[in-house]
Structure 1
Amino acid sequence: MSDNFVIIIPQFNDWEALNLLIKKINSDLDTHIKTNTTLLIVDDCSSKSRTQPFAAFDGKEIKLLRLYRNLGHQKAIAIGLSWVAEHLPVDKVIVMDADGEDAPIDINKLAAKSLQEPDKIIFAERKKRTESLLFRSFYKIYKFVFQALTGKLITFGNFSLVPQSRLQNLVRVSEIWNNYPGGIIKSRIPYDSVPTNRATRLAGESKMNFVSLVLHGLSAISVMVDTTAVRILIFSMMMSGVAIAFIFIILFLKLIGNATPGWASTLGSTLVILMLQSFLISLFLVFMVLQYRSQQHFIPAVHYRDFVEKVETFS
C-alpha cells in the first residue's frame, strides 16, 4: 500500500505562480506519489483575491486553509503542519514554497531518501542558487554568521519531507513558529538532506530582498538564542582577556618610560571601559535568555486554531 502524502504550500498573493506549480507537480511527481497526495494551500491572508480557479490536480484533492491575518511564511508553515497533524491521515508531509523555486521533481528525491532514512526529516540542500550575485553573497555571510553564533551549519531552507513518526514531535516545537529549519535544528529531531538545485520563479516577483534576508537570518539565530548568548559571553571574556593583556603591556611601557605622556592612561582607561561594557551586556543577555526559558512558550499544535479562519476543499 502506497504512503499518503500531503504537500503544504504557504502562499501570499502568489496565485498565478501557484497554479503553474500545480501543473508542474502533475507533470514531475512520480505517479505512485501523486495519486496519493493532497495539496494543502495555506493562504497567509492574501491581500489579492484569487481571480482564477485552481489548476486541475491529478492527485486526491486540494484544500485551502485561510488565515485570519498575515503572519509570514514561517508561521504559515507551522499552522499548516499543525492542522495536518490533527485532521489528516498522512504518512509523509512535504513543505515547499508556492513560487516554484522548490522544484516538484525534487520531491521524488526526498521520498527516495526517506525510504532509506524513514525516521528522519529530509531537507533539500541547496547546491546551486539562481539569485543575483549580491543576494548570494549576503546569503553566504548569513550562513557564516549563523555557524559562528550557533555552532550549527545550515545549508537548507523550508523545502523538506516530514515523516509521520516525527510530525507530532515537530508541531510541539515552539521554535518552528519563528523559523522552521532553525526550530528543527534546535529540537534535535534527527534530519538528513539530499542535494538539489534551486529552480527559477514561475511567475511574479520574489518577495525576498535584503531586508527580508536579514529578518530571516535574525529569526533563525533567535531560535538558538541560548547558545548564541553563551557564545557571545565567551567571546566577550576572551576579548576581555586580550584587553587585560594590552593593559599590562601599556603599564610595562609606561614603567620603562617608552610611553607618550597621556597616551597610556587614555588607552588603558578606554580598554577597561570597553571590556566592562561588553562583559556586562553579554552577562545581561545570558540572564534574559535564562528568564525566557522559564516562561511558557507558544506551542503550534495547541495555539494554531486561533489563526485559522476556514478550510475549503476542491476536488
Structure 2
Amino acid sequence: MPDHFVIIIPQFNDWEALNLLIEKINEDVDFQILENTTLLIVDDCSSRYRTTPFPAFKGREIRVLRLYRNLGHQKAIAIGLSWVAQNLPAEKIIVMDADGEDAPGDINKLAARSLKEPDKIIFAERNKRTENFMFRAFYVIYKMVFQLLTGKVITFGNFSLVPQQRLQNLVRVSEIWNNYPGGIIKSRIPYDSVLTNRAKRLAGESKMNFVSLVLHGLSAISVMVDTTAVRILIFSMLMSAVSVAFICIILFLKFIGNATPGWASTLGSTLVILMLQSFMISLFLVFMVLQYRSQQHFIPAVHYRDFVEKVESFS
C-alpha cells in the first residue's frame, strides 16, 4: 500500500490563506501522495471563526484540532505531532505553514528525498527568500549569532517531513515545545535537507515582524542554552585574560614612568570591575543551566492533551 501522509498545518486567524493553500495542495502535490493524505489543521485558538467552508479536498479528509488557548506556532506544531503520534497512524508527516510561503509543490521534493533517506527527518532549506531586504539582513544576522553561540548551523525552518519511525522519538524531545527545528538539532535525531524557494504569502499580512523574528531567534538559541552558557563562560574567561594582559601593560607603563597621572589607576580599576562582572554573570548563567537540567521537563507526547479542546473531521 502507498504511504499514508499527514500534513500538519498550524494556523491562527489565517482562514483565507489556508483555504487558498488547500487548493494549491490539490493542484501541486503528486496525486499518488495526495490521495493518501490527511490534513490536520491545528487551530491555535483563533479569535476569528471560519466564515467560509473548506474547499473540496482531494485527499482522504481534513481534521481540525482546536486548542483551548493560543500557544504560538512552535507549541501548536508540537501538539499536532503528538496528537498524530497517539491517534493517527501515518508513515510520513509533513509540517508546513498555513500562509502559503511553504510551497505545496515542494512536498514532492521532500517525499522523494525521504525515499533515499528513509530514517531521517527532511527539511526544506531556503535557497531563495521573498521578504524585504531588512528582514533578510536580520535573518542572516540571526543565523550568524546562532552559529556563534551554539556551534550549530541552522538554514531551515518548520517546513519538513518526519518519517514514522522518528515520530515517537521526536514527540519526546522537550525542546520542540520551544522551537521545533532547534529541538531536532539538539536531539541529534538524524536529518537532511533539500533546497527550495520560499513562495509568497497567499492572503493577508505576515505576522512575522522584527520583534517576532528576535523572539523566534532567542527561542531557537535558548533550546541550546547549556552549550550557549558554556561558550559565553569561555568567552568571558578569554576577555578576562585580555584584561589581565592590559592591566600588566598599564602597570609596566606606570613603573617606567610613561603613564599619564591618574590614567593608569582609572583604566586598571575599570578593567578589573568589567572582568569580575562578566565572569560572575557567566558563572551564574552556567549554574542556572545546571539547575534547569536537573528539573523535570515538559514532554509534548505526555502533556499535549491538556491543551486540546476538540477534534473535528471534514470529508
**TM-score normalised per structure 2:** 1.00
Q: Distance in 1 between matches of 2:81 and 2:89?
A: 12
The C-alpha deviation readout for 1:235-268, integer Å capped at 9, x for no partner, is 0000000000000000010011110000000000
Deviations 1:126-182, CA, capped at 9 Å, x for gaps: 010000000000000000000000000000000000000000000000000000000
Aligned-residue offset at 1:6: 0.1
Match of 1:140 in 2: 140
Aligned structure 1 segments of 4 or more residues deviating by more than 4 angstroms: none
Q: Within 5 A, what are the aligned runs for 1:37-48?
A: 37-48=37-48
Q: Percent identity, aligned pairs only?
A: 86
Counterpart Cα distance in 2 of 1:232 and 1:238: 10
Residues 53-107 of structure 1, C-alpha deviation per residue, up to 9 Å, x if partnerless?
0111000000000000000000000000000000001000000000000000000
User: Aligned partners of 1:192 and 1:276: how far apart in 2?
Assistant: 43
Match of 1:302 in 2: 302
Q: Partner of 1:263 in structure 2?
A: 263
Instruction: Say which SS state the counterpart of residue 229 (structure 1) adopts.
Output: helix
1:25-44 map, 5 Å: 25-44=25-44
What is the DSSP-based 3-state SS (H/G/I as helix, E as strand, rest coil) of the residue aligned with 1:162? strand
Secondary structure at the counterpart of residue 309 of structure 1: strand
1:62 aligned residue: 62
**Which amino acid is 2:34 matched to?**
K
Gapped runs of 5+ residues in structure 1?
none
1:127-276 aligned at under 5 Å gives the runs 127-276=127-276
Distance 1:49 1:194 in 2: 35
Q: Report the Cα offset of residue 48 of structure 1.
A: 0.6
2:205 and 2:13 map into 1 onto residues whose CA distance is 10
**In the alignment, residue 103 of structure 2 is paired with which amino acid?**
A
Give the whole-Å Cα distance in 1 for the aligned partners of 2:279 and 2:128. Answer: 41
For 2:244 and 2:116, the matched residues in 1 are separated by 54
TM-score in terms of structure 1 length: 1.00
**Counterpart Cα distance in 2 of 1:7 and 1:111:** 12
* Distance in 1 between residues matched to 2:4 and 2:16, nearest whole Å: 27
CA distance in 2, matches of 1:20, 1:195: 24
Question: Aligned partners of 1:276 and 1:192: how far apart in 2?
Answer: 43
